[in-house]
A and B are shown apart, each in its own frame.
Chain A
Amino acid sequence: MANTKVAIIAANGNLFDAYKVFNIATAAAASDAEVGIFFTFEGLNLIHKEAHKNLPLPEGKEHFQEGFKQANVPSIEELVGIAQELDIKLIGCQMTMDVMSIEKEAFLEGIEVGGAATFIEYAKDANITLTF
């Protein structure tokens, strides 16, 4: 998968959403693909310094908490670390940050900040594009 490019939009912020995004992203990067994720609206929770460590389960699905433990699924914190180690490009949406009045400093070190055009420019020659 070298020479394969994956572009992901993460627009939702609960724990399920986070796993969908980071599992696919790290699997792709571990397979030698170039991966970039654009975090927008609630998706910004996934790279917020504090919020990503304690993401809520979707309403009515709280009972899955136990299942995550039993299956020994890595924490989102751990997956984010792996994502950064694998050089996955993390892009926070500037417009959402402005709307929600959050500064770049509230997010993980090493993220980029950009607008819709930044993502489009990145994704224009992607082989795989996914939205979560």
Chain B
Amino acid sequence: MDINANEVLDAKGLACPMPIVRTKKAITNLEPGHVIEIQATDKGSTADMKAWADSTGHQYLGTVEDGELLKHYIRKASEAETKEETKHEDVLDLEELRQKIDGDESITILDVREPAEYAFGHIPGAINIPLGELEERFNEVDKENDLHVICRTGNRSDLAAQILTEKGFKNVKNVIPGMNKWGGPLDKKK
């Protein structure tokens, strides 16, 4: 599958601990919320990237294997996401969302995570517009339908729900908490 990243780090041919040492350096210069692709051939790097992300608080999205080449995707944590304060009042939990999906009415789900996060698993039928592009791209979403906004933990989707309400969307619901607790069906980008 083809995944967009904001930066690409070449760590091919490097042995432990160099892939994570290089990642550490590269992520320092990355914008919060952006995604880096780390290209490595060290077979131990998959386990190490996960562990490193856990240690440092960044988000490990997944790994794509392409023959010997391992492409790891990590999203830099941003401070906005660690804030707990939510402002958009109309919320829906995951169970209610599932019931609506299983119901007869067709519903719109807007996934505001980064394309790389979306690629590693999203709710079937969800459309993807990352939060950072929403101001320019909100016209791609149908204003009349009930709109269900989701992200990983409910914070970016809260901001997105506020933006959309400002733009004149009437029935915007923030789905909480988000994809990190979603147990339903998932589509992956092929």
A residues at B contact (CB < 8 Å)? 1-2, 4, 23, 26-27, 30-33, 71-74, 82, 86
Residues of A within 8 A of B15 (CB): 71-74
Q: How large is the interface on B (under 10, 10 to 19, 20 to 34, 35 or more residues)?
A: 10 to 19
A73 to chain B, nearest CB (A): 5
21 example contacts (A-B, Cβ-Cβ < 8 A) are as follows: A1-B55, A2-B56, A23-B16, A23-B17, A26-B21, A27-B16, A27-B20, A27-B21, A27-B48, A30-B17, A30-B20, A30-B23, A30-B52, A31-B20, A31-B24, A31-B52, A31-B55, A32-B55, A33-B55, A72-B15, A74-B14
Question: Which 5 pairs from chain A and chain B are nearest by CB?
Answer: A30-B24, A31-B55, A1-B55, A27-B17, A73-B15
The docked-state distance in angstroms from the alpha carbon of A21 to that of B141 is 55
Inter-chain CB contacts under 8 Å: number: 40
Residues of B within 8 A of A23 (CB): 16-17
Q: Is B5 an interface residue (CB 8 A)?
A: no
A108 to chain B, nearest CB (A): 18
- Pick the contact of A30: B13, B14, B21, B57 (CB < 8 A): B21
The docked-state distance in angstroms from the alpha carbon of A127 to that of B181 is 31
Nearest CB to that of A71 among chain B residues? B15
B127 to chain A, nearest CB (A): 36
Residues of A within 8 A of B16 (CB): 23, 27
Nearest CB to that of B21 among chain A residues? A30
Q: Is B107 an interface residue (CB 8 A)?
A: no
Q: Is B18 an interface residue (CB 8 A)?
A: yes
Nearest CB to that of A85 among chain B residues? B25
Given the known A-B contacts A31-B56, A32-B55, are A26 and B14 also in contact in the complex, defined by CB atoms under 8 Å? no
Does the CB pair A82–B14 fall under 8 Å?
no
Contact pattern, B 1-38, Cβ under 8 Å of A = 1, otherwise 0:
00000000000011111101101100000000000000
Q: Which of B40-56 contact A (CB under 8 A)?
A: 48, 51-52, 55-56
Nearest CB to that of B41 among chain A residues? A72
Does the CB pair A32–B56 fall under 8 Å?
yes
B169 to chain A, nearest CB (A): 39
A48 to chain B, nearest CB (A): 22
Does the CB pair A26–B17 fall under 8 Å?
yes
Nearest CB to that of B51 among chain A residues? A31
Does the CB pair B21–A82 fall under 8 Å?
yes
